[in-house]
Amino acid sequence: MWPNPLRMRDKEENIGSVEAYCRLKERFPNKIKLNALYALEAGLWNIHWLESAPEIKDQLKLEAARRADALPSRTNPATAANCASATPSSVT
């Protein structure tokens, strides 16, 4: 069974789609793409990720980039840039 990245069982805290995406991106940098961020957020709204408005996607990318800039990577400084790859110009 897949763990629920939006609810960390050990801490019982809601971390949100951007934080979940960044944690996944840090752990699996070559496998997690921006669509995962969209899917995580859309799942919270119970919609398909393709139904998300472009403005929402842009906001999610900006939040992910800010999070990557503000927090150093827990495992490797080079992987902090993985979440930053969610800059608005990288993927639509």
Q: What is the pLDDT of residues 29-68, one digit of tens each?
A: 999 999 999 999 999 999 999 999 999 999 999 999 998 8
Question: In Å, how far are 62, 68, 75 from 20, measured between CA atoms?
Answer: 15, 12, 16
Alpha helices in 2-33 (DSSP H): 16-27
Percent of the chain with pLDDT over 90: 52
Residue 88's pLDDT is what? 44
Task: Express the helix, strand and coil content of the chain in percent, nearest 5 each.
Answer: 55, 5, 40
Across the chain, mean pLDDT equals 77
- 8 A C-beta contact, residue 24 and residue 36: yes
The residue among 56 and 74 whose pLDDT is bigger is 56
